[in-house]
Amino acid sequence: MTAIAQGRDRRAVLAGAVCALAAATALTGCSADDPDAGTNGVGTLPAGTIQSRTRAAADAARAVHLSGDVVSNGRSYRLDMRLKSGGGSGSVTSRGGTFGLLRVGSKLYLKADAGFWKHAEPGSGGGADADSGAGGKLGGKYVKVPQGDPAYQRFSGFTDKNLLLDGLLTLHGALAKDGHHEQSGVRTIRVTGGNGSGGTLDVSLEGTPYPLRLVRAGGAGTLAFSEWGKDFPLTEPSPGDTVDYGKQLPAS
């Protein structure tokens, strides 16, 4: 090979290296400046479309872990529930008392200690003495809640994935995007309703655009969502650990 040809080859290699370096630098600069680079792309969509995508993702997920506070009908509840299409399980805290909920199909069970039942309101179970007796009988057991009992209507909704999410994942007012954020190390895009007064929803920018955090309108609670799509066992309690109260439960 002649000296001239060798020189041309060296110049070509050098030029190629310079171009590659320039391209790499440009790409790096773009990634640093673009908060949606490397994401699932929903952050570039209009707010209404983001809400539709995240609702569809939540509906399609086979399971979810939901935790946080909900205010409903003037009463505050702290929830820690795992939900899927066949039911759900977890705990609910309200007015200083905590009880477990388990629903398998249409069968709903409530589990609480004796103190929970002893503080039931007189009248629904036959008076204070009867309620005190119920505490000893029901405490620490899974109590099967009759479907006609008011408690069934009140608490079964906390174990119903579709019903609960339909009621929660709704923002009120005009929708808008409120920048990029982060929840538990995951990048999110935030959508607001009514400039925030109608609630805010953080949607994952990584993988499937699941909702990760919801602040409800009017101070009606804040909820976190995790373990989307992660299945969990859901079985009825053993007969020895179950009490079928057989009539209306004492009011809590």
Write the CATH number for 221.
2.50.20.20
Same domain, 131 and 104: yes
> In the chain, how many domains are there?
2
Residue 27 counted as domain residue = no
Whole-angstrom distance, CA of residue 15 vs CA of residue 19: 6
Predicted local distance difference test score (pLDDT) of residue 249 = 61
The average pLDDT across 24-48 equals 77
Q: For the chain, report the end-to-end CA distance as a whole number of angstroms.
A: 95
Predicted local distance difference test score (pLDDT) of residue 24 = 46
Q: How confident is the model at residue 32 (pLDDT cuts 50, 70, 90)?
A: low
Q: How confident is the model at residue 109 (pLDDT cuts 50, 70, 90)?
A: very high
- CA-nearest of 231, 228, 219, 235 to 68 is 219
Q: Percentage of the chain with pLDDT > 70? A: 77
- CA-nearest of 234, 197, 238 to 104 is 234
Residue 127 counted as domain residue = yes
Same domain, 85 and 188: no
Same domain, 177 and 206: yes
Predicted local distance difference test score (pLDDT) of residue 133 = 56
Residue 12 counted as domain residue = no
The average pLDDT across 141-162 equals 90
Residue range of the domain that includes 134: 75-159
Residue 155 counted as domain residue = yes
Q: Which of 21-30, 62-71, 110-119, 176-185 has the lowest mean pLDDT?
A: 21-30
- CA-nearest of 4, 43, 59 to 203 is 43
Predicted local distance difference test score (pLDDT) of residue 181 = 97
Tokens of 149: 């009992």
Same domain, 152 and 221: no
Predicted local distance difference test score (pLDDT) of residue 74 = 84
Predicted local distance difference test score (pLDDT) of residue 231 = 96
Q: How confident is the model at residue 138 (pLDDT cuts 50, 70, 90)?
A: confident
The average pLDDT across 227-238 equals 96
